[in-house]
Amino acid sequence: MLSERVLQLLQKTVPAMEEKGEAITRRFYPLLFSEHPELLHVFNHAHQHSGGQPKALADTLLAAARYAAQPERLFPLLRRIAHKHRSVGVKKEQYPIVGRILLGAMRETLGESIPEEVYQAWETAYQWLAQELIRMESELYRQAAVQPGGWDGFRPFTVVRKVKESRSILSIYLRPADGGAVPLFLPGQYVSVRLQIPGERYALIRQYSLSDAPGTAYFRISVKKEEKVGDKPAGKGSNYLHEQVHPGDMLMLSAPAGDFVLDMQSERPLVLVSGGVGQTPLLSMLKTVVREQPERKVWYIHAARNGQEHGMKEEVRQIVQRHDQVQNIIWYSRPTAEDVRNGSFDYEGYLDGRWLLRTLPSCPVDLYVCGPQSFVEQVARTVAARVGDCVFCERFGPGEVHVADSPANEIITPFSKEADLPC
């Protein structure tokens, strides 16, 4: 544990981290990659260019400064980071490299305005954080390798089927190329997919939720094709999977990871709220809960642009038909004329917070939310006034760091799976 003096010094740097945290991390990454270009095989290049990754690391530094004296609030964030690190193959030998360059970027950015004692406190704090992450990651590596069907690192999987789920979402079914077993996973978890795209100098690693229930002989990922929009370039990984990967091809996968998972010990009513392709981990949860807890009441609320963009809707419809305890509510922000004729949605417009509060049962619930950052934040703000709920949030797209502040209404708002987590 950190000494009282170190904790005091870290707390004093909160204003500096608020003001210049991103300047530090924007300087850090070029220094890191110029000295260790091999790490470009690990990090998401797109989020380097967009600024999502430097902001994520800056938010983590700020959280460390604020909450180092309250590790019970910091550890959920560290566990989330550890899961991501295990999934992309971060090794303990890389921590000293990252620490040295990060502290160098901090000194270069803040200069002599910060006393030497403060820099030494940050060095001590980084070593403590690194030790905690290494400890967590070592256990995650062990668990991934020793479970039935488990493995370490990346394992080749064969694409056995591709299914067009909507205009922009494609499901890919994968089996181990060695003919071995597929491990169980927790509903809500993801895999990292390592892509070596022709013409790209460095490998791309992307995270995709497992969109089917555990216990099958295959993994299924459902990928949204990210088109170019304005200054935002098209997604290299998603476009490659949509256009260049075919049945019989091989993809390299990590073992499942992530702690945005369904609590199967709870018997409280379950509310699943998804926006767009954020439905993928929640569909795994839905398919699992109707199998394992057939009496548990479930509300599945999904928001999409229209029926053409609404993936896996027939799959969900069949679940609802077979299970009376499941209620499905659909919002379309821009329904087509065909959607209107067919009555294929319940509400038009964007999911309304006041409607959500009226719809949720009065008793405490387990609420899982997944989707774009703005969507997740709206839902989280809406339900924050309710007491007794357990709220679990996952953002798709670069996200900020938030630390839970109320055990009675636990809001866990982690990094997105699309954003690289800091070392």
pLDDT, tens digit, for every residue of 159-210? 999 999 999 999 999 999 999 999 999 999 999 999 999 988 889 999 999 9
pLDDT tens sequence across 277-313: 999 999 999 999 999 999 999 999 999 999 999 999 9
Mean pLDDT of 146-154: 96
Tell me the percentage of the chain whose pLDDT exceeds 70: 92
Q: Name all domains of the chain by residue range, CATH numbers in brackets.
A: 4-146 (1.10.490.10), 154-254 (2.40.30.10), 270-412 (3.40.50.80)
pLDDT surpassing 90 at residue 259? yes
Regarding predicted confidence, which is higher, 62 or 49? 62
pLDDT surpassing 90 at residue 94? yes
Mean pLDDT of 394-423: 43
pLDDT surpassing 70 at residue 405? no
Q: Give the whole-angstrom CA distance, residue 281 versus residue 212.
A: 8
pLDDT surpassing 80 at residue 402? no
Instruction: Place 351 in a pLDDT band, splitting at 50, 70 and 90.
Output: very high
pLDDT surpassing 50 at residue 66? yes
pLDDT surpassing 50 at residue 31? yes
Mean pLDDT of 253-279: 96
What is the pLDDT, as a whole number, of residue 388?
87
What is the pLDDT, as a whole number, of residue 114?
87
Residues 6+ apart with CB under 8 A from 208: 190, 191, 193, 221, 222, 223, 280, 417
Q: Give the whole-angstrom CA distance, residue 175 versus residue 157.
A: 5
pLDDT tens sequence across 111-141: 988 899 999 999 999 999 999 999 999 999 9
Residues 6+ apart with CB under 8 A from 384: 409, 411
Q: Pick the range with the lowest mean pLDDT from 68-72, 80-84, 163-167.
A: 68-72
In the residue annotation, 240 being an active-site residue is answered as no
pLDDT surpassing 90 at residue 21? yes
Mean pLDDT of 16-44: 91
In the residue annotation, 400 being an active-site residue is answered as no
Q: Give the whole-angstrom CA distance, residue 346 versus residue 329.
A: 6
pLDDT surpassing 70 at residue 420? no
Q: Which of 29, 67, 95, 190 is catalytic?
A: 95
What is the pLDDT, as a whole number, of residue 233?
75
Mean pLDDT of 47-52: 60
Q: Give the whole-angstrom CA distance, residue 159 versus residue 246.
A: 7
Mean pLDDT of 397-417: 40
Collapsed DSSP state (helix, strand, coil) of residue 292: helix
DSSP 267: -
pLDDT surpassing 60 at residue 414? no
What is the pLDDT, as a whole number, of residue 353?
84
Reported as type and span, the H/E element at residue 348 is strand 347-348
Instruction: Place 48 in a pLDDT band, splitting at 50, 70 and 90.
Output: low
What is the pLDDT, as a whole number, of residue 279?
97
Q: Which of 137, 226, 377, 394 is catalytic?
A: 137
pLDDT surpassing 50 at residue 417? no
Is the distance from CB of 213 to CB of 316 less than 8 angstroms?
no
The mean pLDDT value of the chain amounts to 90
Mean pLDDT of 219-247: 91
Residues 6+ apart with CB under 8 A from 132: 75, 78
121 φ, ψ (degrees, to nearest 5) = -65, -40
